[in-house]
Amino acid sequence: MRRSDREIIDLDRMCELLEEEEVLRLALSDAEGTYILPLNYGYKAENGSVSFFIHGAREGRKAGILQDAARDGREIPFEIDGRRSALVADSCSASYYYMSVIGKVKISVLEGDEKIDGLNTLMHHIMPAPEYHYQEEVLQRTLMCKLSVTEWSCKEHKA
């Protein structure tokens, strides 16, 4: 990282951003090419490591890439950003306040109780409630993935 003075290495501080934001972007690629996919997420920070939880349909381009990555053990790049606000300066020097987390994840497809736990984690992050109830037919057609962070860095530019 070029601007190490803006680097955040404290896990609790990084998790502040994860808690505030709702969209994680994955860089996915297949034979058709590469694309960026914005996804809602839930996360867990345990024992110094972080995992994200995402969901979608069991079929389609996204599902195919995620399932292939899980099978192959391939790492996928991710990005989350937030705390954006413009910094106005003179015409020769301008900047922007922000915080971002970038890194790589390994994908696991979840089933059974792990799938329910992952879905609960995601739902709690985007729509907190004491408990959640899922229809079995919806669960059957839902792909639930755990994204285990293998590397990441966090950067913040603030006032």
What pLDDT was estimated at residue 156? 78
Decide: 61 and 32 in contact? Cβ < 8 Å.
Answer: yes
Give the tens place of pLDDT for each residue, 104-118.
Answer: 999 999 999 999 999
CA-based angle 129:25:112, to the nearest 5? 50
Give the tens place of pLDDT for each residue, 86-109.
Answer: 665 666 666 777 788 999 999 999
Cα–Cα distance between 102 and 32 in angstroms, integer? 24
Q: What is the pTM of this model?
A: 0.88
CA-based angle 141:23:98, to the nearest 5? 170
Reported in sequence order, the residue ranges of the chain that DSSP labels E, i.e. its strands, are 7-8, 23-30, 33-40, 42-46, 49-57, 75-87, 95-110, 142-157
